[in-house]
């Protein structure tokens, strides 16, 4: 069995809308202590996260147009510009998956390009959240192709806030369409080392899990 340093694949999600400042601070500290790849935060917590992660092995990612993805591309671009100015290392944007379901592929690409046009020059990684639970396998594969064409760095399965999270079937569809041209992040419903290992063995490059699951996943590695 292949051994993984699970922490270095984890985007440690601190995204619950009801969290207090103290709760956010504690959750961020937990991720930093486990040396996760990034803490993934709400936009309102970027400043705190950047300050706390300074000088550590943990970077800062934030969500954009979260969790529905329905704001216009122009607003997504403005969000990206602000978050990059605040010092994030990575951005996880929700694509307009209503456009995907409508087969509006040019609009899907335009939606993503609005953000990649900002992230690429800034050398900030862009992950595109597809919300795969709402899509067919064909839609997932076509949306992955759109993300490639639009210059994104990752496709990501789920927000974790709507429908089923990452599944073997949906992740396999993303990996098949990616064909090594874009990285894949499995996110949503990953709560233990067994699930984490399954997706890493499939070939994903990043895992997204809620902050409370990080100790369970990391302590399950041997």
Query: Contact 209/187 with Cβ under 8 angstroms?
Result: yes
Query: Contact 187/11 with Cβ under 8 angstroms?
Result: yes
Query: Contact 90/125 with Cβ under 8 angstroms?
Result: yes
Residue-level pLDDT at 1? 64
Nearest to 108 by CA among 127, 91, 130, 90: 130
Residues with Cβ within 8 Å of residue 174, at least 6 apart in sequence: 130, 132, 140, 141, 144, 155, 157, 184
* Residue tagged active-site, from 37, 113, 127, 185: 185
Residue-level pLDDT at 23? 98
Residue-level pLDDT at 197? 97
Residue-level pLDDT at 222? 44
* Residue tagged active-site, from 11, 89, 92, 153: 92
Q: Which fold has domain 8-219?
A: TIM Barrel (3.20.20)
Domain limits, the chain: 8-219
Residue-level pLDDT at 89? 98
Quick check: is 138 catalytic?
Answer: no
- Name the DSSP letter for residue 119: H
Q: What is the pLDDT of residues 87-146, one digit of tens each?
A: 999 999 999 999 999 999 999 999 999 999 999 999 999 999 999 999 999 999 999 999
Using 70 as the pLDDT threshold, list the residues of the chain that sit under it: 1, 221-222
Quick check: is 156 catalytic?
Answer: yes
Let me know if 68 is exposed, middle or buried by CB neighbors in 10 A (0-12, 13-18, 19+).
Answer: middle
Supply the pTM of this predicted model: 0.96
């Amino acid at each position: 069995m292949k051994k993984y340093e699970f922490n270095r694949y984890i985007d440690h999600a601190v995204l619950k809308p009801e969290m207090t400042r103290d709760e956010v601070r504690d959750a961020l500290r937990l991720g930093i202590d486990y040396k996760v790849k990034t803490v993934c935060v709400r936009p309102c917590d970027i400043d705190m996260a950047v300050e706390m992660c300074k000088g550590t092995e943990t970077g800062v990612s934030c969500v954009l147009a979260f969790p529905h993805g329905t704001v216009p591309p122009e607003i997504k671009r403005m969000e990206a510009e602000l978050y990059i100015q605040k010092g994030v290392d990575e951005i996880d944007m929700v694509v307009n998956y209503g456009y995907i379901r409508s087969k509006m592929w040019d609009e899907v690409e335009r939606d993503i390009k609005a953000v990649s046009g900002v992230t690429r020059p800034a050398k900030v990684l862009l992950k595109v959240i597809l919300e795969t639970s709402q899509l067919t396998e064909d839609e997932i594969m076509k949306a992955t192709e759109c993300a490639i064409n639009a210059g994104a760095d990752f496709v990501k399965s789920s927000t974790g806030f709507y429908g089923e999270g990452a599944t073997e079937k949906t992740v396999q569809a993303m990996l098949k369409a990616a064909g090594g041209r874009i990285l894949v992040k499995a996110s949503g419903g990953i709560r233990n080392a067994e699930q984490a290992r399954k997706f890493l063995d499939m070939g994903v490059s990043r895992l997204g899990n809620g902050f409370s699951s990080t100790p369970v996943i990391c302590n399950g590695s041997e």
